[in-house]
Amino acid sequence: MNNSAKKEWLVRTRSKEILGPFSQTELVEQLRKGNFNTQDEICNSLGTWLSANLISHLDPEEVTRTSSRMGTQSIEFTKSDLTPTPSTTEKLFPTNEKQNPSEPPLQKNVFSKARNAEPKFEAFSTPPPTQSVKPKTIVSSAKYPLATAVILSVLTVFLLNRPTKTQRETSEINPSQFKTKEEPSVIRKAKELINVGKSKQALKMLANYHEAHSKSELSHLSLYAALLITEGESVLRAKRLLEQLLQSSTDSLTKSEAHLWLGYLLLSEDEGDLGESHFLEALQLNPKDVQARFNLGRTYLKQEKYQQALDYLQLAELALPSSWLVQIWKGWAKHSLGLNEEARKAFHDALNNSKDRWVIYIYQSIFYLKTKDLEAARETLLKMLGRDPDYERFNPLPIGFYQNRSHYEEYLVAFNQVMEKANEEEKLMGKLYLNYLANPLSRTEDWKKMDALANHSHNILPRILSLKMMLPHAVDSAYLKSSLSKLPPNLDYFGPYAYVLRGLAREKLNQLPEAQLDYKRALALDSNCASAMWYQYDLFRKAHRAQEAKEVLKNILLAHPNYIPALEQYSNIE
């Protein structure tokens, strides 16, 4: 049976009625008859629901070229069919800037303004406006032949881009996915530094390179400007460099990167159209740019254009099917559209794909708070406290995906909101732990308070958290043994990180076989637990079991390709 005859297409109407399954031929015929509304959703029977509303604002050429790169047969459009992408004005930024070119670089954190707007978790104390889905006229393929082509090409991209089992098990975004052209050695070296958390070193290297090659070479300018933006060094200089790229005769991919970073800058500073026009320009020049798709979705969320946000986030999801980052923002878009069951699933999927990212627990708990499920919100944050708080620091986002910076002070604000009606012991435990994580080396008083709480509580969790807080300090071995004796042998209920902490404490007491057993127990609960794998590797390394250590290191990078400690060690042994 050929693909067009397989009955594998479903349609979900605005009233949530499921129609089908249809074959591709039948689906086209239904579209031609005008039997589907733009607010209906269409998917392959195994896949993600995509809004038919895509056709109202997507550039058909962009979608077609995206399907072409996947090896599909592209649908040809005449020049008159193409929807133009909004162009930026000749002057990219207003001239009333406070700093002139002769002044020294601005020492400014570009995220400071954003933290006063959307990123602050107090902004979630009031639910965002929910857009009702208004009926629109039925799209008839006879009247809009282009609409049919766009929907089918998007669906084709989805089918051919479905992840294999191996891809689904690798949940993190790998920067190497997005290499699109041959890069000079200085850029490769800079990206290697960025990938191991040494962005400031990369910035210094590119600054020196720029000083020596500014008149003869342009390929480094996009990454140099990106680091000036993300490191908060000089926004004005970054703007000038990116404008220089757009005015040059460089290739379209380089200009696409310049638009991406100009848009990123506007989005992070809550200025202008929040980068919308730049992201659209980036996609016009490079339809493969998944960062631009994702950032455009974030822009539309900030603009409260929730359906458009959802459409672009779902398009980003086609390239990143297991990305927690796409899924949490898809969850917010669905919640804002009143699709709470689907939003709940999106948050759940995000958590399954990255179980140690605290930011996911934070957003999921706020979602539960908004939907009045207070017990689920509370349980979510208690689970969060039992996961590895260092994971986000060790496994940051690839450069180019806009995401609010994580701050434990802001997590504490969210924690206090969600736990407002929880018991006093739980509120105190969260406050002490989050305060400690915000500044671990200078908060010994918080550890002592947690230890006192653990000694008087019937709850095991404060005893586990006090281990995390006391391990960096010089603790008497007798006291550490006493603390361990208060933990039950079985810590499965508290998750893998409880075993990791006990293993670290046992290492400190030189109980190495017992520590190794704890790491194995952690991995039995979660075979992809990064901290358990890392400390198991470290234990093998210390025991001079080099081959076993190297195998563990490879496994870490298979599951967590951006995990900084493993990347640093692997580069040393290769």
Query: What are the pLDDT digits (tens) for 42-63?
Result: 775 445 556 655 533 344 343 3
CB 337 within 8 A of CB 306: yes
| Residue predicted with more confidence, 89 or 447 | 447
CB 367 within 8 A of CB 347: yes
Q: Collapsing DSSP states into helix, strand and coil, what is residue 10?
A: strand
Nearest to 233 by CA among 400, 109, 114, 112: 109
pLDDT class for 137, splitting at 50, 70, 90?
A: very low
CB 437 within 8 A of CB 431: no
| Structure confidence by residue, pLDDT tens digits, 186-229 | 888 998 888 888 899 999 999 998 988 877 778 889 999 999 99
Topology given in CATH for the domain delimited by 488-574: 1.25.40
Q: Where are the domains of the chain?
A: 3-91+111-162, 322-422, 488-574
Query: Token pair for residue 145?
Result: 């032949």
HSE-CB at 357 with a 13 A cutoff on CA atoms is 26
pLDDT score at 83 = 30
Question: Rounded distance, CA 343 to CA 360, Å?
Answer: 13
C-alpha distances (whole Å) from 47 to each of 10, 159, 345 are 10, 8, 14
CATH class, domain 322-422, is mainly alpha
State mean pLDDT over 58-86: 32
Question: Does position 65 have pLDDT exceeding 80, yes or no?
Answer: no
Nearest to 38 by CA among 156, 141, 135, 130: 135
Question: Does position 514 have pLDDT exceeding 80, yes or no?
Answer: yes
Question: Rounded distance, CA 78 to CA 85, Å?
Answer: 16
pLDDT score at 18 = 66
Question: Does position 135 have pLDDT exceeding 50, yes or no?
Answer: no
CB within 8 A of 328, min separation 6: which ones?
346, 347, 350, 359, 360, 363, 364
DSSP per-residue letters across 378-428: HHHHHHHHTS-TTHHHHSPPPTT---PPP-HHHHHHHHHHHTTTS-HHHHH
Nearest to 511 by CA among 552, 480, 467, 465: 480
CB within 8 A of 204, min separation 6: which ones?
none
**Which residue matches tokens 């310049």?**
258
Q: Which helix (H) or strand (E) holds 481?
A: helix 477-485
pLDDT, mean over the chain: 78
Sheet holding 18-23, edge to edge: 18-23, 7-12, 41-44, 50-51
C-alpha distances (whole Å) from 543 to each of 3, 427, 515, 537 are 56, 41, 13, 10
CB 487 within 8 A of CB 460: yes
CB within 8 A of 64, min separation 6: which ones?
74, 75, 76, 77, 149, 153
**Which residue matches tokens 């359906």?**
307
| Structure confidence by residue, pLDDT tens digits, 400-430 | 898 877 688 889 999 999 999 889 999 999 9
CATH topology agreement for domains 322-422 and 488-574: yes
CB within 8 A of 417, min separation 6: which ones?
121, 122, 124, 125, 366, 369
| Structure confidence by residue, pLDDT tens digits, 538-564 | 999 999 999 999 999 999 999 998 899
Query: Token pair for residue 311?
Result: 């459409």
| Structure confidence by residue, pLDDT tens digits, 15-37 | 666 676 777 777 777 776 777 77
CB 482 within 8 A of CB 455: no
Query: Token pair for residue 265?
Result: 């800058």
Question: Does position 113 have pLDDT exceeding 50, yes or no?
Answer: no
DSSP per-residue letters across 308-342: HHHHHHHHHHHH-TT-HHHHHHHHHHHHHTT-HHH
**Other beta carbons less than 10 A from residue 299's beta carbon:** 26
Sort residue 479 into left (φ over 0), alpha (ψ -120 to 50) or beta.
alpha
Nearest to 3 by CA among 28, 30, 33, 25: 25
